[in-house]
Amino acid sequence: MNTVVCNEGETYKLYNDYAIGVGFSIRRGTTRYHVGTRDISQKEYYCSSEGFSKEVKLCETRYRNRFETRTGCQAMVRFTIVDGMWKVTKFISDHNHELASPSEIHLLRSNRELTASKASVINSMINAGISGFKSSQRSESTNNVLNGIANKSISLTKFVLSFEDVVARWRSEEASEDYNCKKGLPSLTIRNSGILNHAAKVYTNKIFKLFQNELLNGIATNWSEIACHDNVYSFEVVGEWGNSRTRTVHFNASTMDISCTCKKFQSMGLLCSHALKIFIVKNVTKIPDNYILRRWTKDAKKRMIEYVQGESHANDEETATIFRNNLMKLSYDIIMRSQGNEATRQFCRDALRKLDIDINRELTRLQLSENDATTENQINEDERVILF
């Protein structure tokens, strides 16, 4: 609250630098002026998730594919100008949304402004004819990537280096998609649909678009109930136009189990338009958990596989690999989040040292228990030999 700067440019840079370090983007907010003048008296900056998006009219299709990033976040800073000096007079640090991780800060909107020095470097590289800046090179599909980097005369070393560049770009695109999924919700064609809102929260943006298309296709279908017994319904669903095939949907209202003869869920892991039509008919406003495949969700990478105590695994080697990969990613994420502050770095060091000591202590205990069991078995065996 005691921070003082000299001009508006410094206020923006001060708050933006802080925001990038924490993991959020900012935007300019309210500007107040002295009465009867254009002299600024107060200036506010907000977290970019401040407020809520206005409802888009049906005719305004150009914004349909934008993400809903506004969450009503209250984080902000206010500068008041006194005697030409800009002083912080209000500061709210709490956010109501997830913050960007250290590996995602380059994706923050207010961290992507092109400075004069950066522009100079880019222009120099373009003038030098560096091919990395040709827009056409970003358009190749996955199917022809190898054809683009491999030919009969290329050396193995050059091929490997080129392939590593391709993989790096894939990872960058994947990281960008992950960030977009975490940052905001995709636009909903039917804004007040409960099941669409649920899908937007749990599915990745790409899978949500597929789900939304299925729901919209389901609206353009006719249905008829053909059987009902003990809360188990059977329906026939057929499209309104064309030579659509009639599909049979079975729905158990007690268990929320649903199946369709088109078998789209079995082949793709996504509910079909016919099943979603019946959900609408039966006022189902949330996707049942057993129809949300983990691999299609936003937190698929974060979730740790839960091991049931005593559960036997068909492939112990695969289980160990999954365990190792999950723990390595979790550890990496924790270390990356803690590295920006000495207090969190020390906390991380202490926690890891304690974990190391606890694991060694447990391994020693297990080893002693195993030795005691082996010794006891040997004594029992010796006693049986003596008896006989």
pLDDT of residue 328: 80
pLDDT digits (tens, 9 = 90+) for 137-154: 434 444 455 556 656 676
Percentage of the chain modeled with pLDDT above 90: 34
Mean pLDDT of 289-300: 86
Place 256 in a pLDDT band, splitting at 50, 70 and 90.
Answer: very high
Instruction: Write down the pTM of the prediction.
Output: 0.48
pLDDT of residue 247: 94
pLDDT of residue 224: 95
pLDDT digits (tens, 9 = 90+) for 25-48: 999 999 999 888 888 999 999 999
User: What is the C-alpha separation between 24 and 107, in angstroms, rounded?
Assistant: 10
Q: Are 207 and 296 in contact (CB under 8 A)?
A: yes
Residue 110 phi, psi (nearest 5): -80, 0
Strands 67-68 and 257-260, sheet pairing: unpaired
Assigned token pair, 181: 């999924």
User: What is the C-alpha separation between 87 and 22, in angstroms, rounded?
Assistant: 21
